Chain A
Amino acid sequence: MAATTSSAEARTPGEGQEEPEAAELPVAPERDAAGLGRRRAAGFVAPALILIALFLVLPAVWTLYLGATDYRLTGIPAIDPSFVGLDNVTKALGDSGFLDSLWLTLLFVLGSAVIGQAGLGFALAWWMRDRKGWVKGLLEALVMLSWILPSSVVAFLWIAFLDRDGGTLNELLRTPGTAWLLDHPMLSIIIYNVWRGSAFSMMLYAAALGNVPASHLETARLAGANGWQILRDVVFPRIRGHVLTNLLLISLWTFNDFTPFLITAGGPDGKTETLPVFIYKTALGSGQLGYGAAISFLMLLINLVVAVVYLRLLGQKKKSRKTAKSPGESRAPEEEAA
């Protein structure tokens, strides 16, 4: 439901009106401009679908199956795994290692993605919105650079930056001997991830802010609204969809991110052991493949729940906007009505 509406929304308003009707029909031949026909269309889609089925869907289903067995890397269960049903899942829910790791993952997602990346990304996009000059260019280049460098390189850069003896941060702050990665491990990887990922939010919000008409901002300013009121009443309602899409994507990416492993390897003492790292250690470190797969399955479920919640919110926004739009396209900013 939400999926259909949101992809129709992504198009330009010019062809927006024909979309909802077309969505009801299984095939709309008049749109089939190239004369593909269903059979040839299937032929065009097939190679991609086969690869996806084989290397994406099959491993996912296999994970489900493994999660219901006691499969291990070594020993008797490695040769002849037996079916244990939901035992692994119940075991995980009572396993303090898993629960701790889940908590750390939530902290990581909330701190670095939802608050950090989205907040800093928006602030950057807002500041850059109609600015030119070398400061903007330099800042934009640096933010993008931190996003496109390979993660192996970036991990090493941060290890060097935070190093206890002679790391650049300690040299700058004149705090030699402070072991950031040992004393504040979680804070370190959260800040690292804000640095690493803010570019995506910045770009997405920059595109979104381009859709906010300058005249609306001007009107609000003349009406005496301060910066915060303008953001809340004029800007935010217009970019709500972008905000939600952005939050969905960065939450999912951060939730499944493995790079903290390259910096802290889950340490010290499991203090940065987010779920991907926990699975890696359980499945390959201690060889409990079945149990690891069951945790993967739980992770998949959490991802799904997060995605469904966001898509629901997105669907609500579509409905409310449609009803609000009907009286007239050029709707006055909220605080004028108030």
Chain B
Amino acid sequence: MTHSSDPVRALLRGVGAYVLVALALAFFALPLLWLASAPFDKHPGITASVPEFTLDNFRRLWDNPNAVNSLASSVILAVGSAVLVVGLSALAAYALSRVRIRGRDGLLYALLLLSSIVTGTAAMVPIFLLAAELNLVDSYLGVILVLTGGLLPAAIFILKDFMDTTPRSYEESARVFGASPLRVMKDVVVPVVRPGLATVGVWSVAQVWGNFLIPFLLLRSPDKSPAAVVMYTFYTEGGQPDLALISTFSLLYSLPVVLMFLFVSRRYGFRFHGGIKA
């Protein structure tokens, strides 16, 4: 009791805490600085520094057809996958939450584990062979289906928790008035779990937006490559990485996920609502 109220000690502790916080701030901020400075610099180098301000880099980027196309492909892939993931996982999570099936939780855990393993490098070869077999190589649909299959287990897992916590009484009364299950889901359940759907949607978009491996593997023609892959093709004639292009493109490519994240955290509060909880 006495030692903790000693003012010198308390002061030292306060100063110590703030030094640590300052170090943490520096640790997280420093690698990001370059992304903030280089795109606006007339002669961007590898060092983060106060830029000689210009917007020319953005004009150069706009004139580069690869860059613009790749952002469009990223949008197609991300929106396509997110729509599929949200739609299918909502249906499945709703049914799994309302009707008990033996072994359901075990199955969900097994699929969740499998998805965290298989979507990486482990199943690269079979995924390519499978896509070749189904004629899905070099098509957006192939990438969307593979990514959706990988994201679905976690999406169902998160959404089921949301569905479990919603009250059932509304559904019962809707049913008394003769609404069909799909109708009940659309008009009663979806509005209640909207934050959950938004979380899963944003999470899917972010996952697909940043995914490098699957499109790299499955999309063969360069004009279909999404942003994550195209970033590695920006070199000058001399074989050096084109820093002006890379930095500007990185900024534009990052912006949508950041904005989306801000939107969702403002609107719904991006917290663990019991989504992933023990």
Contact = CB atoms under 8 A, between A and B. Distances in A.
Given A149-B254, A150-B257, A45 B124 contact: no
Interface string B201-218: 000001001101100000
Given A6-B278, A45-B95, A55 B116 contact: no
Given A56-B153, A127-B20, A153-B253, 15 more contacts: A31-B98, A47-B88, A47-B91, A52-B115, A54-B130, A59-B126, A63-B122, A63-B126, A124-B24, A146-B28, A150-B257, A169-B30, A195-B31, A249-B276, A303-B116
A258 B172 CA distance: 47
Given A36-B181, A40-B181, A300-B117, A152 B210 contact: yes
Interface string A148-172: 1111110011101101011111011
Interface string B112-124: 0111111111111
A3 B120 contact: no
A304 interface: yes
A280 interface: yes
B149 A142 contact: no
A142 B28 contact: yes
B123 A157 contact: no
A-B pairs with lowest CB-CB distance, top 3: A55-B149, A241-B278, A33-B168
Given A157-B31, A161-B30, A303 B46 contact: no
Residues of A contacting B: mostly: helix
A163 B91 CA distance: 48
A221 B278 CA distance: 27
B130 A58 contact: yes
B94 interface: yes
Interface string B38-49: 000000011110
B168 A31 contact: yes
Given A55-B130, A124-B24, A167 B278 contact: no
Interface in B186-243: 189, 206, 209-210, 212-213, 227-229, 231-232
Given A11-B165, A59-B126, A142-B25, A150 B228 contact: yes
Contacts of A92: none
Interface in B161-180: 161, 164-165, 168-169, 171-172, 174-175
Nearest to B172: A33
Given A59-B127, A153-B250, A7 B105 contact: yes
A124 B32 CA distance: 19
B100 A22 contact: yes
25 contacts: A6-B278, A11-B164, A11-B274, A26-B102, A32-B98, A33-B168, A48-B156, A51-B149, A55-B148, A56-B114, A58-B130, A142-B25, A146-B28, A149-B258, A150-B257, A151-B212, A152-B212, A157-B34, A166-B45, A168-B34, A204-B276, A241-B277, A245-B276, A296-B122, A303-B117
Interface residues of B, number: 100
B108 A3 contact: yes
Interface string B248-269: 0010011001100100000000
A292 B20 CA distance: 44
Contacts of A33: 98, 168-169, 171-172, 175
Interface of B: 1, 4, 17, 20-21, 24-25, 27-35, 45-48, 84, 88-89, 91-92, 94-96, 98-102, 105-106, 108-109, 111, 113-127, 129-130, 145-146, 148-150, 152-153, 156, 161, 164-165, 168-169, 171-172, 174-175, 181, 184-185, 189, 206, 209-210, 212-213, 227-229, 231-232, 246, 250, 253-254, 257-258, 261, 270-272, 274, 276-278
B252 to A, nearest CB: 10
Interface string A38-50: 1011101101110
A28 interface: yes
Given A9-B278, A63-B126, A195 B231 contact: no
A207 B271 contact: yes
B88 A56 contact: no
